[in-house]
Structure 1
Amino acid sequence: MPEQPIAPEPLDPKYQGQQAYRRPGESQWLPLTQDAYQLLAQTDEYDDEAKDHVRGYRASVNDLLSQALQYANLGFFAGSGTSLGAAKGPSMWQLWKAAMCTDDTGKMLTPAATAVCRRVRYEELAEPNIEHFLSQCDAYLAFSQDAEVQAFIVEVKSKILTLCSQFLEDATSDISAYRHLLQKLARRRVRDPRLKVFTTNYDMCFETAASDLGIMVVDGFSYTRRRRFDGRHFNYDVVRRDADQHDFVEGIFHLHKLHGSVSWERQDNDIFEVTTPLAERACLIYPAKGKYQQAFIQPHLELLSRFLDFLRQPNTCLIVSGFGFNDDHLSEPIFSAIQSNPSLKLILTDHCCLQHVHNAGAHGSSVYWQKFAELAAKGFDIHFLGGSFASLVDLIPALRAVSPAEQLANAVRRIGAAR
């Protein structure tokens, strides 16, 4: 077999979205499509031999994901990138333009935004960032009681709340990838722990997809007319009671919204699910650098603690999709867990995975990509998979019962491939 193609350095935007796979202990990217092969091999040719290689690489990824689904503890971590594609969720840049600007270029600030930027001394207007702006406002208000700045922040947060909830009402919004993901991952053996879905997104994509499929979600809220958050509900389960036996209901999964939801509202010391929460009472960790401190208040503390506990469990696999590792309070626990938990398998997928790994710490990529790449080079069980959220879902095999003959055939095939 010819030498496998290696992605050149440095990577440029043309590698964005390319489907490729990198194994632990290797530096080569294995192309999973014709376009990826031609780009990585820097050739226009795609003969039968190349097709065979690509099919073999896709089979390897299919086996990887099939084995991941067999882990006793399976978790799926969804970052903002999962809702930016066909679902048409808002990006951070879109949030900046909607909250701060009068035009679509993101350069013309509203008079109120201009005044607040000047007052809090926000000067990154050449390359603005909504996270940095809100962080600057929070720092300013920590030392100054300014009603004008406070009112403007509430207005900005209200727009963020609206943008992160209304896109699902758009007829062109497509969350079929979410439905297909739940259809595949929720078909786990009922004797195994329930699938754990962790997400930093505020939107209702997972809840809507589950509702479309008729799948029950355990999200920490009570099953009462007025739903109230209580972490104890994660310890409960649903069984089907027949005359002679009690069986767990299939398909149920746990949903942990680590940064809150567009349907949560804080009322005194409790958090309730409501249709349209007020911006000043919405239970969200808004996009600001102060997210680390906000993560240590309820209900975020309860959800974060369960995420940390999941990472410590034996025989655990975590699939990460669309997460840029820019949140230290989540990135650091994952990085620590892969070093301290010898049975943890980590599959990192992203639309810009190739750029993140090769340009780690530069061009907007988190340094954690470099840290994970270094551990993977040492043989840690870390796999990198480039491509969109939808392409990842397509690669995940449909989980079904495997006959003893198929189990033996798969074992022989894996042994042969390892030689």
Structure 2
Amino acid sequence: MADSDGEEPEKLTFKFLRGVEADAGDLEWPAGADVVRKALSESLNAKNVAFLLGAGCSSYCVKETDGLLGDDWREVGIPTMAPLAKEFTKARDADEAGFPTAIERKVLSDELGIDIGEKEYARNLERLMELLFSLRFSLSRSTLAKAEDNLKVVNSLIKKVQAFLWDKCTNGAFANGDSTVGTLYETFYRKLVLRDRSLPRPWIFTTNYDLFNETAMDRLGLPYANGFSGVVERRFNPATFRYALAEQLDLTNRKWSAVDGFVYLGKIHGSISWIEDDHGLFPIRETAVSKKQEPGKVMIYPTPAKQNSSLGSPYADLFREFQSRIVREQSVLFTMGYAFGDEHINNIIYQALTIPTFRLVIFVDPMLEGEVAKLRALNDPRIWIIGGSGPEADRKAHYFDTIIEEFMPQRPSERIDDAIRKVLEVMSPKKAEAPSIAGDSE
């Protein structure tokens, strides 16, 4: 429809890059979504399928319009690492509880030559955590005069980061009745279980500490393996990743059939539900998240400096599983909400790209600099990059909600609902009098 000036409204497009230099990869909404959906449907039927869900999947902002103040965006999920880092590291006029004090900043700057306000740390909280853990490792072994005092400052900052992340992952709109993000995860898993039962079960790897994945599968009644076993005390045992869930069909002939919808979940940066105790071979325990829980005991974010202790065990095992799954023949890795900011994960993905049958499907802003730009420059037909403008002005093609609603294959019930809606639109005697609302939205 033309506007009042007779000009056509700007068409919303997104990019679907598949490594063909002559193809700009521009697709228009909504027809372009069908192209992507068909391509993804084929990829989801590959022999080995894995997903990597980053911080962007658990973040969701809703627009709130105020007649006086204008539009404002409110986070109903968990902010990504960039805004978290900005909030934690910004300089304050006066000391605030739970954040770095002026004295702590001065010690880091004068004694250790580190400014946590630098771009590297102010844009990535995990980078700051890695730095602090490394400092703790070195200072605890130092014989310098001020090492002990400096170590106290570093330990104080580590506790503050852990408490800050704990608060962000346990408090917020999602913890007070807002189901927006939780519903997205549930829809994701509903569509994921459509995979052919004769194929290996899918793997979900995530860098997120939150419990959106576990909660969604629990509410849907989907069985999953996350590396923990036990009932009263659930402890990490990597052997459980070798297990499969099956139903017995014939007791006499011992016939078994794999259970539909079974999923493997690997939280490669830890979880707010993991704690460490001193129980022999299996010191990592999974607990119910409680407001009374001490954030300092929560196991989040691995660091190479910890690989000689029990903390190295779950992370090393989970990274090994990640590597093992994506380097197999005919493997497809889908990345969502991940901007390639983790060097360890990136190296494993790059290793998988040396395998001819591997395919990498990235949902990300195609204009992003850094590692994404390098991947795009390869013009590799095995690397698909999908992103850009969404079907509406305030949405993006690479956001988790758009991926789920527009690009992932529809469930049979959804296809039936769409067919019924189209029949009603065509057969309705009021069609000539008023345009279909659903038709306009498409």
Q: Does TM, scored on the shorter chain, surpass 0.5?
A: yes
Alignment check: 8 A CA contact 1:220 1:230 kept:
yes
Map of 2:299 onto structure 1:
283
Alignment partners' CA distance in 2, 1:58 and 1:278: 45
Q: Pairwise mapping of residues 327-342 of structure 1 onto structure 2 (< 5 A)?
A: 327-338=342-353, 340-342=354-356
Give the conservation status (yes or no) of the 8 Å contact 2:50–2:203.
yes
Give unpaired runs (5+ residues) of structure 1: 1-16, 34-53, 361-366, 401-419
Residue correspondence of structure 1 range 125-274 to structure 2 within 5 A: 125=117, 127=119, 128-129=122-123, 130-141=125-136, 142-143=138-139, 144-145=147-148, 146-167=151-172, 168-174=174-180, 175-243=182-250, 245-268=255-278, 270-274=283-287
CA distance, structure 2, for counterparts of residue 108 and residue 206 of structure 1:
39
- Rounded to whole Å, the distance in 1 between the matches of 2:93 and 2:179 is 28
Measured at CA, do residues 256 and 63 of structure 1 come closer, stay the same or move farther in structure 2, by a change above 3 Å? same
**CA distance in structure 2 between the aligned counterparts of 1:292 and 1:19, rounded to whole angstroms:** 39
1:247 alignment partner, SS class: strand
- Alignment counterpart, residue 118 of structure 1, candidates 106, 126, 133: 106
- Three-state SS of the structure 1 residue aligned to 2:78 is coil
Structure 1 95/113 Cα, relative in aligned 2: closer, same or farther at 3 Å? farther
Q: Secondary structure at the match of 1:283?
A: strand
Secondary structure (helix, strand or coil) at the match of 2:360 reads strand
Note the alpha carbon deviations across 1:73-105, whole angstroms, 9 max, x for none. 11111011111125511233443466456xxxx
Q: Are the counterparts in 1 of residues 332 and 358 from structure 2 also a CA contact under 8 Å?
A: yes
Matched, 1:392 2:403: yes
Are the structure 2 counterparts of residues 108 and 80 from structure 1 closer, same or farther at C-alpha, using a change threshold of 3 Å? Answer: farther
Could you tell me how far 1:173 is from its partner in structure 2?
Answer: 4.3
User: Would the aligned equivalents of 1:99 and 1:160 in 2 still touch at CA under 8 Å?
Assistant: no
Aligned partner of 1:274: which letter? T
Change (3 A) 1:346 1:136: closer
Tell me which residue corresponds to 2:430.
none
CA distance in 1, matches of 2:80, 2:277: 29
Structure 2 residue 81 is the aligned partner of structure 1 residue 73: no
**Shift in alpha-carbon separation, 1:390–1:292, aligned structure 2, 3 A:** farther
Q: Which of 20, 24, 37 matches 1:25?
A: 20
User: Who is 2:382 aligned against?
Assistant: 381
Shift of 1:154: 1.1
1:354 and 2:366 matched: yes
Report SS of the residue matched to 2:334.
Answer: strand
5+ residue gaps, structure 2: 1-11, 62-75, 140-146, 388-396, 413-442
Secondary structure (helix, strand or coil) at the match of 2:275 reads strand
Q: Say what the alpha-carbon RMSD is for the aligned residues.
A: 2.6
1:83 alignment partner, one of 50, 58, 78: 58
Name the counterpart of 2:84: 95
Q: Is the 8 A contact 1:100 1:110 kept in 2?
A: no
How many residues align structurally?
342
Distance in 1 between the 2:28 and 2:232 partners?
Answer: 48
**Alpha carbons of structure 1 residues 139 and 77: separation in structure 2 relative to 1, 3 Å:** closer
Asked if 2 retains the 8 angstrom alpha-carbon contact of 1:21 and 1:29, the reply is yes
> Are the counterparts in 1 of residues 129 and 161 from structure 2 also a CA contact under 8 Å?
no
**C-alpha separation between the residues in 2 aligned to 1:295 and 1:327?**
17
| Corresponding residue of 1:307 | 322
Give the aligned residue type for 1:21: F
Contact kept in structure 1, 2:16 and 2:385, CA below 8 Å: yes
Deviation string, structure 1 residues 335-359 (Cα, Å, up to 9, x no partner): 2211x21111111002xx1221xxx
State the distance in 1 between where 2:79 and 2:247 align: 40
Confirm or deny: 8 A CA contact 2:134 2:305 kept in the other structure: no
Give the Cα–Cα distance (whole angstroms) in 2 for the partners of residues 261 and 317 of structure 1. 25
Find the residue that maps to 1:307 and give its secondary structure.
helix
- 3-state SS of paired residue (1:275): coil
1:248 and 1:152 map into 2 onto residues whose CA distance is 47
CA shift for structure 1 position 114: 1.7
Q: Larger Rg: 1 or 2?
A: 2
Specify the SS of the correspondent of 1:228: strand
Deviation at 1:315, TM superposition (A): 1.2
TM-score, normalised to structure 1's length? Answer: 0.75
**Cα gap change, 1:285 to 1:171, in 2 (>3 Å):** same
Distance 2:94 2:193 in 1: 46
Query: Using the alignment, how far apart are the partners of 1:110 and 1:280 within structure 2?
Result: 21
Q: In structure 1, what is the Cα distance between the partners aligned to 2:358 and 2:52?
A: 14
Contact 1:239–1:247 (8 Å) recurs in 2? yes
The alpha-carbon deviation at position 281 of structure 1 amounts to 2.4
